[in-house]
Structures are given as C-alpha cells and as structure tokens.
Structure 1
Amino acid sequence: MFSDGRNYWEYEGDTKYVTETIMAADAIIIGTPVFQASIPATLKNIFDLLPVNAFRDKVVSIVVTAGTAKHYLMVEQQLKPILAYMKAHIVQTYVFIEEKDFHRKEIINDDIIFRMERLVEDTVLLVEAYSNIRQAKDAEYDF
C-alpha cells in the first residue's frame, strides 16, 4: 500500500506488518539497489509510511548494489540524510557492491563477503553500545 499520510499503526495487512516490524526493531539492515542514480520508489514509500522519528534509538546499516562506482553518491547524498533526519544511528561504513562483483547472481568478490560480515559485527556492536549507554543514562534517575 502506498503512503497516504495516515499513522503507521492505522494501516492493515502487509503494510501494517512491515511498519510495525520496523518500529519494533533494535537494528535494521537496509539492502537496496540503485535505480536511476536514486533510491528505489519502494524504499522511499516505506520511509513515507513511517513517522519522522521512526529510527530513533535504532542502528541502521546499509548494503547497496549498483551498476557503477559513481552510484555510491546515492548513499551519501540521499540515503544517509534521510536516515539521519529520521533519527537513525547510522553505521558509517556500508557495503557497496558493483555489477562486476557478481557472476550469475552470486557474489564472486571475497572482499564483499568480508565487508558484509564486518558490517553485521559493527551493527551488533553498535546496538550493544547504545543499549549500554541508554541503561547507564536511565540508571541516573531515581524512579
């Protein structure tokens, strides 16, 4: 369903499931292709379905596939600013996969596999770090 301005919890079916799952997550790994040097409309629609603070206290990682190296600009100039606006803790390093890294729909570049494993590790570490920070901050209060 396309975003029509309602609150995310007012949707039904798959849309309700997707939005509630995102809102309940501690971490999100966004995997997206680059289309026409931009984010796909389906990803933009998901952002539009969510409230502006949807990623507050959430760690967000990024994996992108693209046809050329120049398409990394989509991440830097479009995706990261949207995630920052929506209050995400963004894992600064992301995995960028070019067409040359694939053969018959399989990743053939071992460095890509290594970087994906590292991205997952970094994501988990950041979730744990932010959780510890929040717990320490909450412990400062007497209630």
Structure 2
Amino acid sequence: MKIVGVSGSLAGSKTMQTVHEVLAAAKNINPAIETELIDLQEYDVEFMRGTPLSYYNDDTQTVVNKILQADSLVIGTPIYQASISGTLKNLFDLMPIRAFKSKVVGCITNGGSSKHLLVTQYQLKPILHYLEAIVVAKDVFVHNDLFDVETAEILDKDILRRINKLAEEMLYLQGKLGG
C-alpha cells in the first residue's frame, strides 16, 4: 500500500509538517507501507487550462500521476480567506473525474483562526466526494499557535494523538478495501 501526502501550500512549512506527521504516524503503525510527501512548493504545477494532461509541463504531469497511482491520500491545506488554498484547488481541477475512486483520503488543515475549522467540512470534503474519494470521517485542524515558531513542529500532544487516530482510520479503511 502506498500513501501519498499532498501539502497544498506555496508558503511556509506548517502544512508540510502536518502532512508529514500523518505519514510518519501511518508508517509507525505499519512499517510495510510506502509513503511519499508531495510538497507543492517543490513543483511548478501549471494553472488548469482545460487541456489534456499531456499538454502540461513535466512537474504537473508528475504530481497528477503520483496522486493517481496512490492507494491512499493525505490532503493538507492552509486556510486562507476562509477557504482551501488556490494551489490545492488548482490541483483538484487538474484531476480527472473519479480520480479518487476507491482511495481513502484523510484531511488535515491549519490556520490562524479556530473559526476556520469547518472549512474542511464545507469546502474540502465536497470536492473530494465529487472525485469519488472515501473520505475519513474525522479530520484534524491545527491552529497556527500550536506550532513551534522556529521549527514548525506541532507542540500540542492532543493534536498529535488525533493525527495518529487519523492515520489509524486511514489504514483501517484502506485495509478493508484490500489496499
């Protein structure tokens, strides 16, 4: 089984750190699984133009294909203006219909206001459902105050416990699907 984590941010390291924590928790639960982190800061993903994937640059094709080949996904996004990042939305726009069919997807978000914790429910999960993902019921929101300012490590033990639970549920569901 391969779990691919996507950090849907082009700035900072908090989102990447949250996705990394979920992947590390999954690997700790089952060392046999393969994990990969896609940090969108490291790729030049083109803006969606409505053309076939083969018309886009190598980075765009690489990122889309890595996601399509994954058994399971962890999607991480910062919350900007009470919404998911434009970078992540653009990536979803590049996906074919049914891109996430039979893929278990866990969601982890971070933001500067606790008012943003429902963005996952009202914006991210509907997109994932449209792409036919099997979305883990529980998601994790990490307030920006819970990160170490210098290292971006998550300081709150309850958040780390919830991240571990998210990883457990992802592996359980994917296991039930035979992945």
Do both proteins adopt the same fold according to a TM-score greater than 0.5, normalized to the shorter chain?
Answer: yes
Q: Quote the Cα distance in structure 2 between the aligned partners of 1:8 and 1:126.
A: 30
Shift of 1:11: 2.8
The superposition leaves residues 30-62 of structure 1 with CA deviations (integer Å, 9 ceiling, x where unpaired) of 011001100111000000101121111111101
Aligned residues: 132
Q: 2:177 matched to which residue of 1? A: 130
* CA root-mean-square deviation: 1.3
Equivalent AA in structure 1 for residue 48 of structure 2: S
Shift of 1:73: 2.0
Higher relative contact order structure (alpha carbons within 8 Å, sequence separation ≥ 6)? 2
Alignment pair present for 1:117 and 2:164: yes
More helix per residue: 1 or 2?
Answer: 1
Q: 1:99 matched to which residue of 2? A: 144
Q: 1:60 matched to which residue of 2? A: 105
Shift of 1:10: 4.3
Q: Quote the Cα distance in structure 2 between the aligned partners of 1:73 and 1:9.
A: 36
Q: 1:3 matched to which residue of 2? A: 48
Percent of aligned positions that are identical: 41
Distance 1:124 1:9, change over 3 A: farther
Look up the SS of the partner of 2:77 in the other structure: strand
Is contact 1:27–1:58 with CA below 8 Å preserved after alignment? Answer: yes
Q: Quote the Cα distance in structure 2 between the aligned partners of 1:121 and 1:50.
A: 26
Calculate the TM-score normalised by the size of structure 1. 0.87
Q: Quote the Cα distance in structure 2 between the aligned partners of 1:9 and 1:118.
A: 38
Shift of 1:103: 2.7
Alignment pair present for 1:12 and 2:57: yes
Alignment pair present for 1:33 and 2:78: yes
* Greater than 3 Å deviation, 4+ residue runs: none
Look up the SS of the partner of 1:63 in the other structure: strand
Is contact 1:93–1:119 with CA below 8 Å preserved after alignment? Answer: yes
**Bigger radius of gyration among the two:** 1
Q: 1:85 matched to which residue of 2? A: 130
Shift of 1:72: 1.5
Is contact 1:26–1:58 with CA below 8 Å preserved after alignment? Answer: yes
Shift of 1:7: 2.8
The superposition leaves residues 52-110 of structure 1 with CA deviations (integer Å, 9 ceiling, x where unpaired) of 21111111101100111110121111101110011000001011101221231221100
Look up the SS of the partner of 2:177 in the other structure: helix
The answer for unaligned runs of 5 or more in structure 1 is 133-143
